[in-house]
Amino acid sequence: MAEFQFELEWYRGRKLPGHAAKVHGLTGTVGSFGDVTVEVEWRKPGLKGGNRQYETRLYGERMPDVVFRTVGPARPNLRNARFDVAGERVPLDFNAKALRNKARALRMTCQGRPYTYVVTGFERGAVLSRPGVEITMTRGKNPRGKGNGSFGAVTGEVEADALDLALAIAFERIDTRELTASERVSGLLGRVLDPFPGGSGY
């Protein structure tokens, strides 16, 4: 069994060379895997219009390339996304009709491995797991008083590798509200209050 913990600090408003937009994200040292950064950028639509593009990208010398891109609607979601890991397109699947977070878990297969990602509480954390490995992510105040951060705890019967950690960390900056029961409830309420969205119904 291999267990360890790590911490990532949040930052906002950093501007990268050659980028017109400011970016924000998380950065920190992840055990023997070294420095890791996951960054979010909103890209404005082109001259022909369209929706803003939302991109999350993970960087790390010992980490696989991870890129999550989505285009519109106003709030990015998992259903209009492209998720690429180490050059592989990874389909994302979850039960949008379920009423519990665990039943709404995100399921994906990456490099032949089955993964499950469960949100444990709205904006509070999540658990990524595969057979033999579990990575728990929580969010909260930085104990050193430097704002907020994300905190990871790795447990399991086998050692977690770079792919496991890259997935868990990348999802810290991906909108996963669709995986929460509260999102399902708000959707049902919206249908009750407005049974004919986008029109009068007549």
Q: Which domain holds residue 104?
A: 4-193
Against a cut of 0.85, is the pTM above it? no
Q: Which amino acid is at 17?
A: P
The yes-or-no verdict on residue 188 having pLDDT over 90 is no
* CB-CB contact of 170 with 38 (8 Å): yes
Kindly state whether residue 142 falls inside one of the protein's structural domains. Answer: yes
* CB-CB contact of 151 with 141 (8 Å): no
Mean pLDDT of the chain: 82
* Alpha-carbon distance values, 59 to 66, 84, 87, 167 (Å): 8, 13, 14, 12
Q: In the chain, how many domains are there?
A: 1
Mean of pLDDT values over 104-110: 96
Kindly state whether residue 198 falls inside one of the protein's structural domains. Answer: no
The yes-or-no verdict on residue 126 having pLDDT over 90 is yes
Number of C-beta neighbours around residue 106 at 10 A:
21
| Two tokens, residue 87 | 């050059």
Kindly state whether residue 9 falls inside one of the protein's structural domains. Answer: yes
Q: Which amino acid is at 79?
A: R
The yes-or-no verdict on residue 38 having pLDDT over 90 is yes
Look at residues 140, 141, 136 and name the one whose alpha carbon lies nearest to residue 119: 136
Kindly state whether residue 202 falls inside one of the protein's structural domains. Answer: no
H or E, element range at 10: strand 4-15
Kindly state whether residue 201 falls inside one of the protein's structural domains. Answer: no
How does DSSP classify residue 196?
A: S
